[in-house]
Amino acid sequence: MRSEISKRNKLEAGFTLIELLLALAITGIVISLTGSGLYALMNANQRSQNETTERLDLERAVAFMTDEIKMSQQIMTSIPTGSKGEKIFKSASGSSSVQVVLVLKPASNSGLINPIIYYLADPPNSSVWLGPRVIYRWGPTLLQTGDYSNSDGVDIVKVKPSGVVEYFNEVIVDHVSDLVLDKSKIDCSSGYNYFDLNISSKIKDNSGFYACIAPDQKSVEFWIYKQANSSNKNTMINTLVLTRSN
């Protein structure tokens, strides 16, 4: 009888202080491990989403560039001057380390006289663009019809005379990487020649935007390396495009 009473008293007494502290310690460890695992999973998911967003952004930009190259007459290897020998190309205000990579001669029926230029630069310090480098486009507004507009936003092929065609500098790709191969290691296709025209005295060999032009200047192969803003991992697109217009 005494033995049964003693057992009952121990059961009713509950846990000891040591047992409670041990249980709390184990619970804390489990919660900490669970939280760390969940945090790591959320970070991995966020990185994956960022990389997907960067990839889609790059694909849209390359699709736009590809369409404009196809509309062009020729890939030029120099920037023409005006009728009086003056410079016609002006990079974006505040941009630095300017490297011209693509100079497109518009189709003869486009209504344009000046070329369209894609160039690489460091963004201005006060701009919304994060860099480390960005790709700019210098050219007129391209309408959804595939034609260009004049300064009044009117399709220039439908206006005679077309009037003044205003050229703008606009960012096509942000987050262009500067953690890429030196341009000397870019493998151009046979017969193609690497091209860039450095406008600024300060340039970077690891530019993140490269172009190789065919001898007949009717096709171009280009590379763009985009860097996600949350990591050093690069997203790269390499494509070959042929001009189709005369």
- Of the candidates 176, 186, 180, 81, the one whose C-alpha atom is nearest the C-alpha of residue 119 is 176
Map out the domains of the chain as residue ranges: 2-45, 60-242
- Taking the CA atoms of 132, 96, 184 and 238 in sequence, report the sign of the dihedral they define: positive
Q: What is the tens place of the pLDDT at every residue in 165-203?
A: 889 999 999 999 887 766 666 778 888 988 767 665 455
Measure CA 149 to chain center.
26
Residue 137 contacts residue 118 (beta carbons within 8 Å)? yes
Side chain identity at 160, as an amino acid letter? K
21-35, 126-140, 213-227: which range is least confident on average?
21-35
Residue 75 contacts residue 240 (beta carbons within 8 Å)? no
Determine the longest span between alpha carbons in the chain, in angstroms. Answer: 119
Q: What is the tens place of the pLDDT at every residue in 3-14?
A: 555 555 555 556
Give CA–CA dist 246/237, Å, rounded: 27
- Give the residue, 232 or 1, on which the prediction is more confident: 232
Spell 31-45 as b/e; 16+ CB within 10 A means b.
Answer: eeeeeeeeeeeeeee
What does the pLDDT read at residue 169? Answer: 95
